[in-house]
């Protein structure tokens, strides 16, 4: 009899409050290793709050968050990151005065072996050819799409097996958004990377996701495979606007 494998990330009965405002109510989800899960829904649904709670930036009032079998509720963002969860925040938060390479090396700051860091840098730049060509360029001179690629690449330099990616298409043209999504799918397929993705561009997110989760008013409305969600016209019209 085969053993039951626990999901890489498991969230159960999560509640988050901001004073009297209930931002998340009884949220439960799981993400398996090597899976891309997208969270979609209208503005104010609680999507970014959920990522913040998982990453340790917001303290839940109730519920559990288990990553790699450990309950990470009440752990600091730094300790959660060291366990292997890397957040790519909305707005990218790159260091504009530093070069592309210097930004990437910040992601590797916890690793002491210089040879391994150099190998990680080579590998990550091979994934992001546009960054490889501009590794000596100040990050402030990159396009919006290149800056988003840099934010993802920096997260990969941490060697985290799972990324939390918040609104990567924000402010980007549809063509660039498609490139970002294709890169996330490629990383999943080639490296086994696990991704929990919050995204307003519903079509683009569902095109690469294995599972889609719809949120509204701080709760999960439905969670199903992405192909089923793409074909559910009633649900799409009710919550996603297309």
- Kindly write down the DSSP assignment for every residue of 147-171, as one continuous string: HHHHHHHHHHTTT-SEEEEE-TTTT
Sign of the alpha-carbon dihedral angle for 185, 66, 62, 91: negative
Instruction: Encode 187-197: b = buried (16+ Cβ within 10 Å), e = exposed.
Output: bbeeeebbbbb
- 144 in any annotated domain: yes
Q: What is the pLDDT at residue 3? A: 53
The residue from 110, 142, 158 where one domain ends is 158
| Calpha distance 207→227 (Å, rounded) | 8
Q: Are residues 169 and 242 in the same domain?
A: yes
Q: What is the pLDDT at residue 237? A: 72
pLDDT tier, 1 (very low <50, low <70, confident <90, very high otherwise): very low
Quick one: which of 42, 38, 50 has its CA closest to 208?
38
Q: Are residues 75 and 183 in the same domain?
A: yes
- 43 in any annotated domain: yes
Domain CATH number, residue 56 = 3.40.50.300
Q: Are residues 30 and 138 in the same domain?
A: no
pLDDT of 144 > 60? The answer is yes
Across the range 8-25, mean pLDDT stands at 96
pLDDT tier, 231 (very low <50, low <70, confident <90, very high otherwise): confident
Across the range 152-162, mean pLDDT stands at 95
pLDDT of 187 > 90? The answer is yes
Structure-derived torsion over alpha carbons of residues 80, 81, 83, 84, reported in degrees to the nearest 10: 130
Domain count, the chain: 2
- 89 in any annotated domain: no
Q: Are residues 154 and 170 in the same domain?
A: no
- 69 in any annotated domain: yes
Q: Are residues 186 and 219 in the same domain?
A: yes
Strand pairing report for 62-67 and 194-198: unpaired
Q: Are residues 124 and 195 in the same domain?
A: no
**Residue 94 three-state SS:** coil
Q: What is the pLDDT at residue 80? A: 96
**Strand spans (E) along the chain:** 9-18, 21-31, 36-40, 62-67, 70-71, 85-88, 162-166, 194-198, 211-216, 219-225
Compute the mean pLDDT over every residue in the chain, rounded to the nearest whole number.
92
């Amino acid at each position: 009899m085969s053993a039951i494998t626990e999901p890489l990330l498991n969230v159960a009965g999560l509640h988050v409050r901001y004073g009297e405002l209930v931002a998340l109510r009884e949220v439960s989800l799981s993400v398996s290793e090597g899976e891309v899960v997208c969270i979609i829904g209208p503005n104010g649904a609680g999507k970014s709050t959920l990522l913040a709670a998982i990453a340790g930036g917001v303290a839940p009032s109730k519920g559990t968050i288990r990553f790699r079998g450990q309950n990470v509720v009440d752990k600091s963002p730094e300790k959660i990151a060291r366990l292997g969860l890397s957040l790519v925040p909305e707005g990218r938060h790159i260091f504009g005065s530093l070069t592309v390479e210097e930004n990437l090396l910040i992601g590797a700051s916890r690793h002491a072996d210089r040879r391994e860091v150099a190998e990680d840098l080579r590998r990550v730049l091979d994934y992001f050819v546009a960054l490889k060509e501009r590794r000596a360029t100040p990050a402030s001179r990159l396009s919006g799409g290149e800056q988003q690629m840099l934010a993802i690449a920096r997260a990969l330099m941490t060697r985290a097996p799972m990324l939390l990616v918040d609104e990567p298409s924000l402010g980007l043209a549809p063509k660039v958004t498609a490139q970002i999504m294709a890169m996330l799918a490629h990383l999943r397929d080639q490296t086994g990377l696990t991704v929990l993705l919050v995204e307003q561009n519903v079509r683009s997110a569902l095109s690469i996701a294995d599972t889609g989760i719809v949120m509204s008013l701080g709760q999960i409305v439905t969670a199903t495979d992405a192909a089923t969600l793409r074909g559910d016209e009633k649900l799409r019209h009710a919550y996603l606007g297309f």
